Amino acid sequence: MATTEQPLPAVASNETKLSQQYDTPLGLAHTTMNALKDRIKLHYDLASDYYFNLWGEHIHHGYYPTPEAKATETKEVAQVNLIKLLLETAKLPATATQSPLKVLDVGCGIGGTSRYLASELGATVTGITISTKQVEMARRLTKTAAAKQQDQSTASDVSKDNSTNDSSEFIPLGSNNGKVQFLELDAEKMGEHFAAQSASFDVVWISEALSHFPNKPLFFANAQKVLKQGGKLVIADWFKSESVKVGDADIKAIEDGMLLPPLCTDGEYVGMARENGLEVLGGGEPKDISEDVKQTWDITWSLIQNPSLWAFAFSQGRDGIAFLQAFRAMRRGYANGSFRYSVMAFQK
């Protein structure tokens, strides 16, 4: 259906006209699910450096829970706020404990959340991503963080470890005995990959990645398989509204530009979790925080008006341009209520 354009917050006055100049037809169908996964991998292999320059180490929304936060907090603080909200939602400790959590960070990106959980909670974290480039960046950034945090002798050990470039090794991080490793792995194969460690994780954490997965019921089945009894699944993701109609122009633009299969509602995630033996933690419902995260895209839309970024996107063909064009659709979707953001937690 045609959507009514809503007034949006103003962006920087020096906004270029590149976003209009390179407008492209959106809503193109993905050919096959395997082809979609190949496009996702290629996208992140090519664009992760730009993501890092744009968003920093945490490639996810920022959470601005109060008017004061919306007015004063940086995007970096807001991104950590989202991690803290997920910990609270899942009733997980916010600091180190005597029994370190074993965490599987699915779709870990360049490892920002993995590093936070290892450093602040003393957790043992395995981050997985489909992107070769992201594994390389995550490991390099973790080694840099470890070197800064440790004393000189430990920093020397970290430097020596860097020469192996083996992403299967855990890297000690922080003063709480945390550690983290990064693996290149298709998340749909995580149940099979971790079969020898069946039911070994305390937490499966997935932030803004599940919406990319073609087979979402398989993810919930795999999460149930790798979680210990009593273990928790923590999710933050993008959704379409329950009321959105088939063919909504903004939703189609987001799906196309962000390389997503058809978006779900947050209620559909709850149904898939329950079908796989996972219950909403505390008997509650997903928490819709759309109003407290949408500022992320106002900030981002201003940031992406860099001509070099549009030139890079243009060099990547229609996928690159459609990706940046989706930012505008997200802002419209948040404004008119068709695009939503929720956090939720489940327990085995």
C-beta of residue 87 within 8 angstroms of C-beta of residue 93: yes
| Per-residue model confidence (pLDDT) at position 240 | 97
| Per-residue model confidence (pLDDT) at position 143 | 94
| Per-residue model confidence (pLDDT) at position 8 | 43
List the chain pLDDT tens, one digit each, 348 residues: 333 444 444 444 333 343 343 333 333 445 556 666 776 776 677 666 767 777 778 889 999 999 999 999 999 999 999 999 999 999 999 898 888 999 999 999 999 999 999 999 999 999 999 989 899 999 999 999 998 877 544 444 443 444 344 556 899 999 999 999 999 999 999 999 998 877 799 999 999 999 999 899 999 999 999 999 999 999 999 999 999 988 899 999 999 888 888 999 999 999 999 999 999 997 788 999 999 999 998 887 777 777 766 777 777 677 777 777 888 899 999 999 999 999 999 999
Neighbours of 99 (CB within 10 A): 9
Pairing of strands 124-129, 171-173: unpaired
Q: Take residue 140 and report the two structure tokens written for it.
A: 């390099």
| Per-residue model confidence (pLDDT) at position 59 | 84
C-alpha 279 chain-centroid distance: 22
CA distance 26 to 229: 44
Q: Is the dihedral of CA 30, 256, 251, 219 positive or negative?
A: positive
Pairing of strands 201-207, 102-106: parallel
C-beta of residue 240 within 8 angstroms of C-beta of residue 265: yes
| Per-residue model confidence (pLDDT) at position 197 | 75
> What letters, b where the CB count within 10 A reaches 16 and e where it falls short, cover 328-340?
bbbbbbbbbebbb
Can you list the domains of the chain with their CATH numbers?
A: 18-347 (3.40.50.150)
At residue 77, the 3 state secondary structure works out as helix
| Per-residue model confidence (pLDDT) at position 302 | 75
Neighbours of 276 (CB within 10 A): 19
Q: What is the DSSP string of 207-225?
A: ES-GGG-S-HHHHHHHHHH
C-beta of residue 287 within 8 angstroms of C-beta of residue 234: no
| Per-residue model confidence (pLDDT) at position 320 | 74
CA distance 64 to 168: 35
| Per-residue model confidence (pLDDT) at position 42 | 67
| Per-residue model confidence (pLDDT) at position 298 | 86
CA distance 40 to 170: 26
Q: Quote the crossing angle between the two packed helices 33-55 and 307-315, to the nearest 10°.
A: 160
Neighbours of 42 (CB within 10 A): 16
